[in-house]
């Protein structure tokens, strides 16, 4: 008999209840990934079981619970946060470091679960590739993997239901390619590999492909659904009531049938014998793949939509440029207020989030933030994914550095920017760190590279000036960014921690962040971030080359610089960037914001 806890239960009580459920099911270790049936980065409430069980609120982490151990694996971005949130819970922080070939929790399970034991995990939220790696590691140790049990469901009272936000159309002119044309592109890719069917679970792929958007996931304008694409029709599996009738009719005209969310597994089970199904093993769960009959041939490859949506069209790039002007104007208004209010009003890290969000909300086309604003003063800025709360935040006063990482969703694009500004008088050491990071950001901004180069290989360009200073940072330098979609998007990633696989190739039209950093725990942190667009750089006898067009428009605070560390060419880049920022933003601001813009874009 399952006994559910009161919603106000403590973390130790929740872990005890989970251990009781494990004992009833004969499970020696329970694995709880940060995942949903769509393998999303940000999760709807229903699938935030790892957070509910551990108390750790970071977006990345894996929980393992045995009869006498509970451990939370996460990377260096979250170590300080996890240390604080796990204190007193009975959950131990297990630090992940870069460059590991095997997930460290997999190695731990293989080493610590006794031969003949069972590891339990909900297959509905475990990726196919992850399930295979885990199963093989356990098999050689004589340990069984069980994926047919959701132990959290048995103990979580008032577990959130499926999200209910209404799906809406992303319409022209911002959606510049019709969904019928996008489906035709997908079907051509299917035909190239001989597939009659393609199953897609990735929420941003579905939103892009069908020109639909939603509000089921915080900060990401997506909706919870699966799709099965055939040669002449599409089944869209989505919860009842989410797609209005007029939109259902419009989808039907494009050969798209709206069906109940729970029917996705049944549709896979009903695929005809001898047919071929295309899936992306990194983007589909093991539980759903188990529904596919053995008589169906499964072809594994990256979702074609992943490549197609990463390369923005010329029309989309133009909309993003307009979006950057609106976002930059909002930032100018915010910083003008901030500098005038500093020392006269009480400003906290929470105030920054409120005022910056309000400034963006006044701009045309604003929909929401694109992630939770990070405003970290001094030591808090040393935590790359710091989040101020009502219970724990800093007042902005004294001397030091304030790091602000923020972004927004507009119907015409997605933004993500980090700036560091001085509070009072920054120290010489803080200026050196700021300048060192800026040198890395400028180096990557100016890079020219062969079309098709694997994006992780570009990481060293940004790190070289930081390595030269005897420093480094524990996160990647760049991630892909969607078009009114997820702020984190693939397939490209600029990070030496990521494998340089063929599908990470840089192509024209990709938008990527450029955000090197330098962090001194307990003291301060620096990160400077712009978004950049891959554009043609010319063709030679050695092939096609690309370069970056900087999209983000906001001054980089020269008061934080140690000018003696900048070369003439670096100064020239910064002056040219500031001239562009001033020219592009001036028509959108007035009064104090315009005066601030003029001041902060003066040449050095």
What is the predicted pLDDT for the residue at 531?
Answer: 98
Asked if pLDDT for residue 2 goes beyond 50, the answer is no
Alpha-carbon distance 63 to 90, whole Å?
12
Q: Residues of 222-239 as b/e, b for ≥16 C-beta within 10 angstroms? A: bbbbbbbbbeeebbbbbb
Query: Is the pLDDT confidence value at 103 over 80?
Result: no
DSSP state of 497: T
| Cβ neighbours for 212, distance < 8 A, ≥ 6 positions apart | 167, 168, 169, 170, 206, 223, 247
Mean pLDDT, residues 494-511: 95
Cβ neighbours of residue 309 closer than 8 Å, sequence gap 6 or more: 204, 205, 208, 209, 482, 483, 485, 489
List all residues 6 or more positions away from 34 whose beta carbon is below 8 Å from its beta carbon: 43, 50, 51, 59, 60, 61, 62
Please tell me the distance from the alpha carbon of residue 282 to that of residue 300, in angstroms, as a whole number: 9
For the ranges 6-15, 104-113, 332-341, the one whose mean pLDDT is highest: 332-341
Arithmetic mean of pLDDT, 328-348: 96
Confidence of residue 102 (pLDDT cuts 50, 70, 90): low
**pLDDT confidence of residue 81:** 84
* Contact (Cβ atoms closer than 8 angstroms) between residue 190 and residue 278: yes
- The answer on pLDDT for 8 being more than 80 is no
Across the chain, what does the average pLDDT equal?
95
What does the pLDDT read at residue 1?
Answer: 38
Say whether pLDDT at 210 is over 80: yes
C-alpha 224/C-alpha 548 separation (Å) is: 34
Q: How far apart are CA 224 and CA 160, in angstroms?
A: 14
| Mean pLDDT along residues 444-456 | 98
Residue corresponding to tokens 């971005």: 77
390 pLDDT exceeds 80? yes
Q: Domains of the chain by range and CATH?
A: 11-146 (3.40.350.10), 168-309 (3.40.350.10), 311-600 (3.90.230.10)
Percent of the chain with pLDDT over 90: 91
Give residue 114's pLDDT.
94
Which of 425, 423, 426 is CA-nearest to residue 404? 423
Distance of CA 343 to the CA centre of its chain: 35
- How would residue 42 be classed by pLDDT, with cut points 50, 70 and 90? confident
Q: What is the β-pairing status of strands 168-169 and 212-213?
A: antiparallel
Q: Are 400 and 545 in contact (CB under 8 A)?
A: no
Least confident of 36-45, 174-183, 563-572: 36-45
What distance in Å separates the CA atoms of residue 159 and residue 4, rounded to the nearest whole number?
Answer: 11
Q: Above 90 in pLDDT, residue 340?
A: yes
How far is Cα 98 from Cα 498, in angstroms, rounded to an integer? Answer: 9
What pLDDT was estimated at residue 5? 53
CA–CA separation, 375 vs 404, rounded Å?
A: 5
Structure token digits, residue 573: 């880049």
> How buried is 442 (Cβ within 10 angstroms: 0-12 exposed, 13-18 middle, 19+ buried)?
buried
Beta carbons of 527 and 434 less than 8 angstroms apart: no
Phi-psi region of 509 (alpha: psi -120 to 50; beta: other; left: phi over 0): left
Its pTM stands at 0.92
């Amino acid at each position: 008999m399952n006994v559910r806890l009161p919603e106000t239960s403590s973390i130790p009580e929740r872990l005890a209840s989970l251990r009781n459920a494990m004992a009833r099911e004969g499970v020696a270790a329970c694995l709880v990934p940060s995942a949903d049936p769509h393998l999303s980065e940000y999760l709807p409430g229903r699938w935030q079981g790892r957070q509910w069980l551990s108390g750790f609120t970071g977006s990345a982490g894996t929980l393992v619970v045995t009869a006498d151990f509970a451990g939370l694996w996460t990377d260096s971005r979250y170590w300080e946060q996890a240390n604080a949130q796990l204190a007193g819970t009975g959950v131990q922080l297990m630090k992940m470091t870069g460059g590991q070939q095997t997930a460290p929790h997999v190695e731990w399970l293989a080493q610590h679960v006794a031969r003949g034991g069972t590891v339990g995990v909900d297959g509905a939220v475990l990726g196919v590739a992850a399930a295979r790696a885990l199963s093989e590691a356990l098999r050689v140790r004589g340990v069984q993997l069980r994926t047919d049990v959701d132990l959290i469901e048995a103990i979580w009272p008032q577990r959130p239901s499926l999200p209910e936000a209404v799906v809406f159309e992303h319409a022209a002119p911002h959606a510049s390619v019709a969904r019928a044309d996008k489906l035709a592109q997908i079907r051509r890719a299917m035909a190239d590999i001989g597939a009659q069917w393609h199953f897609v679970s990735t929420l941003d792929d579905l939103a892009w492909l069908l020109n639909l958007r939603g509000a089921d996931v915080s900060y990401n304008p997506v909706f919870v659904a699966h799709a099965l694409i055939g040669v002449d029709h599409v089944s869209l599996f989505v919860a009842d009531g989410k797609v209005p009738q007029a939109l259902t009719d419009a989808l039907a005209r494009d050969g798209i049938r709206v069906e109940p969310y729970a029917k996705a597994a049944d549709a896979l089970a009903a695929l005809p014998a001898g047919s071929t199904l295309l899936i992306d093993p990194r983007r589909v769960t093991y539980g759903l793949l188990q529904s596919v009959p053995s008589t169906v041939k499964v072809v594994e490859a990256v979702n074609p939509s992943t490549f197609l949506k990463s390369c923005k069209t010329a029309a989309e790039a133009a909309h993003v440029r307009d979006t950057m002007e609106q976002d930059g104007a909002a930032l100018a208004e915010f910083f003008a207020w901030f500098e005038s209010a500093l020392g006269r009003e009480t400003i906290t890290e929470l105030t920054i989030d409120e005022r910056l969000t309000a400034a963006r909300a006044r701009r045309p086309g604003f929909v929401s933030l694109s992630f939770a604003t990070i405003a970290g003063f001094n030591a808090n800025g040393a935590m790359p994914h710091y989040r101020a709360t009502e219970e724990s935040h800093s007042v902005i006063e004294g001397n030091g550095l304030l790091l602000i990482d923020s972004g927004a969703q507009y119907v015409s694009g997605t933004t993500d920017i980090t700036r560091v500004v001085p509070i009072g008088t920054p120290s010489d050491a803080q200026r050196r760190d700021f300048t060192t990071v800026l040198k890395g950001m400028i180096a990557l901004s100016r890079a020219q590279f062969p079309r098709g180069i694997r994006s992780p290989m570009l990481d060293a360009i940004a790190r070289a000036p930081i390595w030269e200073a005897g420093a480094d940072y524990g996160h990647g330098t760049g991630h892909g960014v969607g078009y009114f979609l997820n702020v984190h998007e693939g397939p490209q990633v600029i990070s030496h921690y990521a494998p340089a696989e063929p599908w990470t190739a840089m192509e024209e039209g990709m938008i990527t962040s450029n955000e090197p950093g330098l962090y001194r725990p307990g003291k301060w942190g620096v990160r400077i971030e712009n978004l950049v667009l891959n554009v043609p750089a010319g063709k030679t006898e050695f092939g096609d080359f690309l370069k970056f067009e900087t999209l983000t428009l906001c001054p980089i605070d020269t008061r934080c610089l140690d000018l003696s560390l900048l070369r003439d060419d670096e100064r020239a880049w910064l002056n040219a960037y500031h001239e562009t920022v001033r020219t592009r933003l001036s028509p959108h601001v007035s009064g104090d914001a315009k005066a601030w813009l003029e001041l902060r874009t003066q040449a050095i």
